[in-house]
């Protein structure tokens, strides 16, 4: 329950949906602003591909929450700006590497 992760004291059940939404909204408004810059999934994937060891399809899927076909599609669109290589890491693991053209 979202409320229990934000509130100092948790609840099992609200008296009504409207009452619950009001209490959750009040807690959200009291949260401190986040100073951490947001990183886009594009930046995350490119950063992982530019690491020395590169990144496997599974690692990219875990980092972004994307499905395999989405990761592969994104990588193929980046071929305009980056040189993408595939290397066999182990018997069943292929790593992708990207270098700026």
Q: What number is the average pLDDT over the span 52-67?
A: 94
Question: For residue range 20-37, what is the model confidence (pLDDT) as tens digits?
Answer: 888 888 888 888 887 778
d(CA 71, CA 59): 10
Note if the pTM is more than 0.85: no
* Range list of H helices, 50-93: 57-64, 68-77
d(CA 27, CA 81): 43
pLDDT of residue 3: 63
Flag whether pLDDT at 1 surpasses 70.
no
H or E segment at 83?
A: strand 82-90
**β 82-90/93-100 pair status:** antiparallel
């Amino acid at each position: 329950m979202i409320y229990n992760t934000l509130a100092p004291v948790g609840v099992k059940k609200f008296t009504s949906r409207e009452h619950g939404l009001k209490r959750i909204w009040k807690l959200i408004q009291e949260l401190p602003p986040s100073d951490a810059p947001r990183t886009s999934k594009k930046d995350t994937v490119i950063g992982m591909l530019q690491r020395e060891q590169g990144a496997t399809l599974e690692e990219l899927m875990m980092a972004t929450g994307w499905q395999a076909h989405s990761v592969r599609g994104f990588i193929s669109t980046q071929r305009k700006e980056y040189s993408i290589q595939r290397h066999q890491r182990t018997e069943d693991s292929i790593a992708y590497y990207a270098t700026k053209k």
